[in-house]
Structures are given as structure tokens and as C-alpha cells.
Structure 1
């Protein structure tokens, strides 16, 4: 049977609109929507736990810049170090030299593993400032994280990046910016999975929050996302040439430490409950 007519031809305009010559792209917009939704979900948890509003105020600043800086450095250092170590300005600022002139291009490369690591570090700095228990805070962030991850993968889909391997499944996407071959829409698979993980987290929070030990949500979030990420890499194209011939690609290697941390956080249970005092309200 010829499935060609059932394939999705995918070639969206990456730019939603322009303001004063600056392009507003779906990629950046979806990133912002994902982070904004997480902001409101975590704010709800702070209010639900009756935590002082003043402690919440600086959280967005730490999360936003932690994710952005971590994701950017992660992409540059994990995937293209040979280029960006010789183009430090392009690594730090959202500009690129094109035909001898600097142009605003936005951050074209952001790595989820780097963003996760950046967020973990930023939250450590945040908890030191506001005098809160670290695990209590990362648990609240973890409830919202899968939803943000969902929107980030939708952003990748709009950019026709992080594409899947060639396939003959009838729902394959033809990413016209890449080639005319039918491929797994790996970004969409991830977005759907992360949305389901978010629903699981919300259900557990609403029904079992007081019964679950400190660190459970953090551990579950890391375990679900990065275990799925590890296996979805099997049907994804390698992002950089040096991954060719590797037993595990870069995405899989980087997922393993997060899976280990996640499982440990789920299993440690009572030890995490005894770690430092509970939330100061």
C-alpha cells in the first residue's frame, strides 16, 4: 500500500510576525509560553502551601535565566564545541556574523539537558537566597516541568529540527526544509509524552501530595522525561556528525545521569524527608 498521500508535508514559516525588523519566531514564542505556564502552576503551589509571596517573586528570574543560559551553553559545549569555542560572542549573544555583518538571529541552538542542569543550579542559588529547602522547591518546579518540555518540543517541531529517522508509517512528516523523505515526527512524540507526564504529575499532586515524600516529584520528573528521552533517541537522526558510529548518541549519554538522580530521589524517601527543615512559611 502506498502511504505517501497520508504523509504530512511540513514546511511552516518559522516567523510569526516582525516588529521593527526583529522577527518574532514560533520557536521563541513557544519557549516563552511553556515557561509562563510553568510560572502560574508553581505560583499556584506556593499559594496552596501558604508560602510567603515574597519568596516566590524572584523565582521566575532564576528559572528563566538558569534554563536559558544552561540550554545555550549545553548546546554549544555538548554538540558544537569546535565552532563556538572559536566564536564566543555567538555563544553568549543571540547574534551571528552573516556576510561580514552582525545580525540578530535568536538562539538557534538550545539543549534540554543543559537547560535542566542550568535550572538545577539556578534553583540552588535561589533557595540559598530565600532560605528555603532545596528539595521542596525542586519538587514544585518538577510538577510543571513536563508541560514546559512539551512546548519546547513543539518549538522544535515548528523549526523542523531534531527530526526522526526515515520511516514508512502513514503519519510520517516530510520535513521539506531538510529533505523530501518521510520521517518520524520525533518532536511530536516527545511533546505528547511530556503532556501525559504533566497530567500524571498534576493528578499525583492533587491527590497524594501530602502522602508522598520529599523529592518524589523531582525524581519522578527526571526519571520519566529522561528515560523516554533515552529511548526516543533510537528513532531520531543524530544531531551532529561525531555521533555517527557511537553505541549511544550524545542525547542518550547525557540522559543517563539524570535517570540515576531521578531514581535515587524516588527511592531515598525518608532520608530526604529528614534533610534540612521543611518549608519556612
Structure 2
């Protein structure tokens, strides 16, 4: 690859660190900032929805604690179990070293489902009622996380000669698909679509439809986007499809089954307390 050819592509040489905290000599990273941005945006958007339904602020505060904890714990355990179990079995204390990286979005998805179940049971609400409202903001959180991946130059794409290819200089000098950016852009579009359909009451009429739509569309795109990413772990090279695609299939099937079930019955929404 010559220098003249590289000029036709986007050179990505952004540092993952924003600045260093002098006293403790620890960096503030873009990835953490985007995680925080995702949490704040989700909270603000969800609050506007729940407030209109007569829910108090305490309701959202409790729900937020469940969801954030479920996301982080699930994402961490997902990475450990799905991608590198042997390493963590040999180094069990590293399980807690979350600051070193290692979060899996599919594990985060499972963690969110568990958190919704526990919260819904405590509040005596239908699982799908809570899941629908969480589904409205999940895409914006996903967009923020993928932008964090982009800033970290991780989850990079396969080589390409398309004019919008990124050259991740911290990795190599090969133009690649900005697969993280593709997914971030899709998540923003999905967020806008779902919230538009919710406002028009198209998704609101049948409990569970919003949640089902999220599962089908988000994980279908994730399945396709994986074809444009390099594998995260060496063992994936021997698989017909990679781990991200394998883990996306159950979510797609769950969403499809829920949509079929919902098409055969009408579910009334609970009245806000």
C-alpha cells in the first residue's frame, strides 16, 4: 500500500485516551465517556416517556440501577464465557479487572433481560411492558458504545478499497470497513424509527411488539455486520460463522416468535399507578 493510495482513505489515528488524571496517573478514555453518554441519554429519553405515563422519578431510578448493573455484569460475563473462558479460569482475579477491557454486547443483552425480569417481578408488572420501554432506548446506547469502539480502534473491519475505508494506524496500514461506524449509524436510525412508531401508537398497541422489533432488527443487522469485521478471537477462524453471529441467532428467533404470538392476540397495557 503506497502513501498516495492511503491519501484516498480516512486515516484514523485518534488516541483512545482523552487526558491523564495527574494525581492518580490514570487516563480518562473515550470509551468510558461514550458509555456514560449512553446512560445519560437513555435516562433522559426514558424519563420523558415514563413521566407521560404517570410514573414517578423513583421508578426510573430503580429501573436504571437494575439495567446498568445487568448490562455491565452481563457484558463482562459474556466476554469471559463466550470468548476467552480458559484465560479467566487460569486467571480468576482478572474477571474483576473490567478496566482492562473485555465486554460482550450479547452478554450485555442477556444481562438486560435478567435485569428486566427481576425489576418487573419486584414491581409486579408484565415483563414485556418493561421490555418495550427499555427497547426504545437500547439503540441509542448501542450507538454510543460502538462509537467508543471506534475511538478505541477495536472491532475493526475487513480490508476494503471503498473510498470511506478507515486506516486504523494503531493496528496496521490496511484500509478497512469502519464496521463500528456502520453499526452506530444503524442504531441511530433504528432509535428514530422505533420512537416514531411508538409515538404514532403503531408499536404501543400490542405489548411486546416494540421489544420484538428491537430483537429482530438490531441482531439481524449485527449478524450481517459481522461479515465485515475481523474475528475477535483465533478460535472463531475455524467456525462457519463467528461467535457474534452465533449469539445473534437466538435473539432474532426470540423476537420473531414473540411477533408471531402477538399477531394472534391483543395484549392490554397495564394502567400506570
Q: Which bracket does the TM-score occupy, shorter chain normalised?
A: over 0.9
2:75: which partner in 1? 71
- For residues 209 and 39 of structure 1, do their structure 2 counterparts lie closer, same or farther at Cα, with a shift above 3 Å needed? farther
**Contact persistence 1:8–1:171 (CA under 8 A):** yes
CA distance in structure 2 between the aligned counterparts of 1:143 and 1:5, rounded to whole angstroms: 40
Q: 1:52 offset after TM fit, Å?
A: 3.6
Whether 1:176 and 2:169 are equivalent positions in the alignment is yes
Q: Output the CA distance in 2 between the equivalents of 1:232 and 1:77.
A: 22
State how far apart, in whole Å, the 1-side matches of 2:128 and 2:11 are: 44
2:249 to 253, 256, 265: 256
Mark the runs of 5 or more structure 2 residues left unpaired by the alignment.
none
Q: Which of 162, 178, 185 is 2:155 aligned to?
A: 162
Task: Report if the CA contact (8 A) 1:30-1:155 is conserved.
Answer: yes
Question: How do residues 174-253 of structure 1 correspond to structure 2 at under 5 angstroms?
Answer: 174-208=167-201, 212-253=205-246
- Mapped to 2, the partners of 1:146 and 1:211 lie a distance apart of 17
User: What does the per-residue CA deviation read over 1:54-95, in whole Å, with 9 as the maximum and x for residues that have no partner?
Assistant: 32221111111100010111111111111112222111233x
Question: For this pair of structures, how many residues does the alignment match?
Answer: 268
Residue 137 (structure 1) aligned with residue 130 (structure 2) = yes
Per the alignment, residue 94 of structure 2 pairs with 90
Instruction: State the partner residue of 1:102.
Output: none
Shift of 1:212: 2.8
Match in the other structure for 1:278: 270
Could you say which residue in structure 1 is the equivalent of 2:8? 6
User: What is the TM-score when the length of structure 2 is the normalising length?
Assistant: 0.93
Distance, in Å, in 1 between the alignment partners of 2:256 and 2:188 is: 21
SS at 1:9's partner residue? strand
Contact kept? 1:7, 1:172, Cα under 8 Å: yes
- Match of 1:213, SS state, is coil
Give the TM-score taking structure 1 as reference length: 0.90
Between 149-158 and 107-116, the greater mean CA deviation after superposition: 107-116
1:16 deviates by 1.0
For the Cα contact (< 8 Å) 2:53–2:272, is it kept in 1? no
Q: Which residue of 1 aligns with 2:17?
A: 15
Quick check: 2:75–2:109 contact (8 Å CA) kept in 1?
Answer: yes
CA RMSD of aligned residues (A): 1.8
